[in-house]
Amino acid sequence: MASISKGPIRLFQRFSSTTTTTTFTAKATPSKDHLHSPIPKEFFPKGYLLTGIHAGIKKPRPGQSNPPVDLALVLSTSPHPTAAAACFTLNAFRAAPVLVSRDVLDNSNGRARAVVVNSGCANAVTGKKGIEDAWSMVRAGDALLRAHGLPSSDGEQPITNETLVMSTGVIGVNLPIAAVVSAIHTQSDPSSPTYALASTPTAWDATARAFMTTDTFPKLRARTFQINGSTYRMAGMDKGAGMIHPRMVGSDSLPTSLHATLLGLILTDAPVSPRSLQSALSHAVDRSFNSISVDGDMSTNDTIIALANGAGVPNERSNRVEEIDEGTDRDAYRIFRDELTTFAIDLAKLVVRDGEGATKFVEVSVENAASYPDAHCIASTISTSALVKTALYGEDANWGRILSSTGSATLRTPLDPSSVSVSFVPSSPTDSAPTPLPVLINGEPAGVDEARASQILGQDEFRIVVDLGGQGVGGKEGAKYWTCDFSYEYVRINGDYRS
């Protein structure tokens, strides 16, 4: 997505039979270049081969010399069993890859060794043909595993299907499945000139690029962490810029009846049991991807997948790998869960920073609530308010809109309006704590310093803090949400998304 120009945009307002013309200068979308930079190889987890290639789903743009990558392939090559977990959208029109990946996980008891992701076509609301196509991607991924001679993810007994699939793009359009399957098969022979699977930083970057639709940069992060004296690695990629307001749960939590997209993949070389990987991922997603919003629209395809392959276990212990499990080593599990949560938050923030047409990155923090669900509900209501988001774009400290959203949230414990306070908090370029600007204190207007308010809201990043004052019951719970503004560029992008 290119930044919009700063030239005047003409607006027309109709009053009776008279039409007047108003001109103004629209703000340019800030550069996102600093959000993508090279990552040293030692930060990437061991035991994975991956790549991003062109399958023919996306068409080259005018003047584009190389065809766009639109198919990501990931294989776990670890000699140890690979655990898999996922959180899926609760949208009633869940896409074919969501339904199929859920079935794969259910039938494999949380084991999988490959992930296939396509961009450019969501394979959503595509009927029986869409389901068949998603299974074709699964079978092609399984064939790729066999071509590389990789053992079963379970380590003991064969698993029928070991590939999870994700799709993103336009809804209601069928995949060119023959081209997709053919592209997957090109990676079966390492001696082939078209073979691209690798474990290099370049391969990781290409894989992240294959996730992209309206994204302006590949969202890729990696880090190391320690558990019980051993160093492990974690890397992840996600995509999303519009149709972002996820509500995802683990496959074991989905209701029996069916109740632009966010996709994410997190890979680690730590040994984690399937049940504990799912538990940790569900905890992390609730506090990260389920706590972001660009436009308030939940996608049909939202999916976060995690794989843990144990390839980072030190050599002297490699023959007796014991998976981290919350039932046998609660401390190790909590360390892993918290590392995963922090990492997922970093990935989720990248989606908001790349929000379609966004010029602001805003953290909404709700404090001193009676419960986490109440705090999370209020933060979500504020973050999805079109009136709040347009005020953010206009750099208008219209705190009345924040209060209106706060008061409209459906809560378990009633609010005490006389205890609620609201502040704007600037970002700080240093480690020093920034000074908040109170606009409401215990239900009473604080008298806004408009000059300082304009200074804070003029920043690319800042915080909105809503203190519920204990919610009448001495509550100390809190929740955070990350959101962005609504701009004219958002309307332009989504007005011609299919064209």
Locate tokens 């392939």: which residue? Answer: 73
Locate tokens 């995802």: which residue? Answer: 248
Per the DSSP assignment, residues forming a β-bridge with 423 are 438, 465
Residue in 29, 261, 381, 384 annotated catalytic:
261
- Look up 261 and say whether it is catalytic: yes
Residue whose C-alpha is closest to residue 382's, from 291, 317, 260: 291
Q: What are phi and psi of 455, to 5 degrees?
A: -65, -45
Per the DSSP assignment, residues forming a β-bridge with 424 are 437, 464
Structure tokens at 68: 């766009």
Residue whose C-alpha is closest to residue 233's, from 313, 134, 145, 133: 313
Alpha-carbon gap, residue 95 to 127, rounded angstroms? 9
Within 10 Å of residue 413's Cβ, how many Cβ atoms? 16
CB 223 within 8 A of CB 43: yes
CB 24 within 8 A of CB 379: no
Alpha-carbon gap, residue 3 to 468, rounded angstroms? 38
CB 232 within 8 A of CB 272: no
Alpha-carbon gap, residue 408 to 397, rounded angstroms? 19
- The beta strand positions in 110-250, using DSSP E, are 114-121, 163-170, 219-227, 230-239, 248-250
Structure tokens at 137: 């991607």
SS3 category, 478: strand
CB 118 within 8 A of CB 138: no
Q: Which residues contact 289 (CB under 8 A, 6 or more apart)?
A: 87, 238, 246, 248, 262, 264, 302, 304, 344, 347, 348, 351
Structure tokens at 473: 């019951």
Q: Which residues are catalytic?
A: 261
